[in-house]
Amino acid sequence: MKQEDPAQLWSVCLSELRGMMPAQTFATWFERTKGHDVTPDKFTIEVPNPFSGERMLKRFHDKISQVVTTQLGRQVVIDYHIFEGNSQIIPVLTDLPSYVTDRAVQADQAGRVGRVDQADRQQQAAGEVETDNLYDNYTFENFVVGECNDFAHAASLAVVKSPGQQTFNPLVIYGGVGLGKTHLAQAIAHESKRLGTVDRSRYVTSEIFYNEFIESIQEKKTKEFAQTYRNVDLLIVDDIQFFCKGHKDRTQEEFFHTFDVLRQKGKQIVLTSDRIPKELSGLEERLVSRFEWGLLADMKPPDYETREAILQKKADKDGLSLSPDVIAYIADRVASNIRELEGAVLSLLAYASLSHCDITIEVAKRVLSNKIRRKQRSVGMEDIQKAAAGHYGVSVEDLAAKTRKKHVVAARQAAMYLCRDMTRASLKDIGAVFGKRDHTTVIHACQTVRKLLLHDEGLQEDLDKIRNSLS
C-alpha cells in the first residue's frame, strides 16, 4: 500500500476499525467516510456532515489515531472535513459547543437574503405554527437519549437551531416501529415554535397529505393545496412509506414539486420512515434521490441502559413508583421498542390504580405475563441462515454460493430479509455472510420479499415458521 494514497490508507484503517466496535456503530459513523488527503504530518478524513465529524472527534478519535499511526508507522495529526460538492472543504471545528459549526452555517447562509431578525421572528411566529395535531408530551425534554438514537436527536436539535441548512435538508429519520421517530419529529415542531426559529410550520402524516390532496382534486382546489404546503418554513411529513402503498403516482408527483419548491427557497423539510429511502419499494427514484440529498439519521432499538432510563422516566411522569428490580425485569425482557416499554408501565399503572397495592416483582410478573415472554436468546445471522436453509431444504453453503437456482434464490432472499428484520447487522455485514455479496443485493432481496408479502400468504407462513424455530 502506498502511504501517499489516502483512499487506500483509509480502506485499510476501516478494516481494522470495523473489528473494534459493534457492526451497527461502525455502519452509523464510518460507512460514509473517505480518506481525502495524506501528508507527512497530517491525514484528512472526509465526513458527510458536522455531526459525524464531531462524534468521531468525541468518541472515536483515539481509536482512529491509533490505527492510522500503526498503518503509517508514524504519528500524524488527524483532521476531519466536510466535503462539499467537488471542491470546497469545510473543516470540523473542535472548539464549538454546538452540533453545527459556525463556518458551515455561514457557508450555507451566504446566498440567502431577507432574513428576519430573531426578536421579530419570535413575535411573528405566534399563532402561525400548527400544533393541533401534535402531542403535548412529544418534546425534547421528554425524549430519552441513548446510543441508539443520539445521532437522530442531535440532528433534530440542529434543524431547530439552523433550519434550511443544506447539510441536513431534508432530515430523514428512519427506523422500526415504536422507536421514537414521531416523538422526534413533533419535538422539532414544538421546539421551533418555542424558539421562534421559523415563522410557519406544518406537521402531517403522509396519509393526511394524501387525503388532503385527493380532496383538493375533488373540489378543484389544487392551487390552494399547493400554496398551503409550499408557503411554510418547516414541513414535517411523518411515515412517508405510506406514499408507496397502492397507486399514488399523482400524490408522489405533487410531493416531488412541493419538495423542490421548499428546498429551493431554503425551507426545512423533515421526513420520517420505517426504512431507509432506497429500501422503500414503490417510491419514485427521483424522490429517493432527493430524500438522500440531506442527512439520514437512523434510530435503533434501545439498549439496556436506555430501556431502563425510558421506564424510569415514564414511571416518574405517571407518578408510579417502581423498584429497581421491577425496572430491570422489564428492561431485560422488552427489547424491541419504546412503545412496548411504555405500554408495560401503563399496564402496571392501571393495576396499581385499581388494586391500590405496590408493584413488587411478583406483581409485575403476574400483570405483565401476557406482554412479556420468557427471555429469549439473541439470534444471529448464522442462526437465521441455518434455520432458513433447513426450512427450504438447502445447505448453508448454497445460501452463500453463486447459484441462481430458483429455490436457492428464494431461500437466500428470505434469509437476507430475516437478517435485516431480526438483527442489527448493516446491509454490508449481511451481504458479507452471504458470499460477500454487495449491499445492493441485500436491498434488492428485501424489496423482493416485501413485494411478495403483499399477496403471497405462503411466504408469510414460511417466514413465521422460521422465526418460531428461532425462538
Residue with cell string 466496535: 21
Phi, psi dihedral angles at 174 (to 5 degrees) = -130, 155
pTM of the entire predicted model: 0.58
| Region 336-347 average pLDDT | 85
Assign 3-state DSSP to the chain and report helix, strand, coil percentages, each to 5: 55, 10, 35
**Alpha helices in 242-395, H assignment, sequence order:** 249-264, 285-291, 304-317, 324-333, 338-355, 361-367, 381-392
pLDDT value at 2 more than 60: no
Q: How far apart are CA 80 and CA 69, in angstroms?
A: 16
pLDDT score recorded for residue 376: 52
Lowest model confidence (mean pLDDT) among 38-42, 111-115, 365-369, 370-374: 111-115
The DSSP bridge pattern shows strands 77-84 and 88-91 to be antiparallel
Which of 376, 301, 364, 303 is CA-nearest to residue 329? 364
- The letter for the amino acid at 198 is V
Lowest model confidence (mean pLDDT) among 367-376, 430-439, 452-461: 367-376
pLDDT score recorded for residue 259: 93
pLDDT score recorded for residue 292: 86
Q: Is the dihedral of CA 415, 24, 310, 270 positive or negative?
A: negative
Q: How far apart are CA 405 and CA 414, in angstroms?
A: 14
Q: What is the pLDDT of residues 140-189, one digit of tens each?
A: 998 988 888 888 999 999 999 989 887 788 999 998 888 899 999 999 99
Position with higher pLDDT, 246 vs 2: 246
Residue with cell string 414535517: 236
Environment class of 4 (CB within 10 Å of its CB; exposed 0-12, middle 13-18, buried 19+)? exposed
Which of 443, 429, 353 is CA-nearest to residue 21? 429
pLDDT value at 234 more than 90: yes
Q: 3-class SS at 362? A: helix
Lowest model confidence (mean pLDDT) among 32-46, 368-382, 385-399: 368-382
pLDDT score recorded for residue 452: 85
Contact 416, 442 (CB under 8 A): yes
Domains delineated in the chain = 6-98 (3.30.300.180), 118-299 (3.40.50.300), 304-367 (1.10.8.60), 381-470 (1.10.1750.10)
Lowest model confidence (mean pLDDT) among 30-34, 47-51, 257-261, 410-414: 47-51
pLDDT score recorded for residue 423: 82
pLDDT score recorded for residue 1: 44
**Alpha helices in 127-244, H assignment, sequence order:** 150-161, 181-195, 206-218, 222-230
Q: Which residues contact 35 (CB under 8 A, 6 or more apart)?
A: 5, 6, 7, 8, 9, 10, 11, 13, 43, 44, 45, 46
pLDDT value at 402 more than 60: yes
pLDDT value at 372 more than 90: no
Mean pLDDT of the chain: 81
Q: How far apart are CA 229 and CA 239, in angstroms?
A: 17
Lowest model confidence (mean pLDDT) among 88-97, 105-114, 355-364, 456-465: 105-114
Residue with cell string 481509536: 63
pLDDT value at 93 more than 50: no
pLDDT score recorded for residue 471: 65
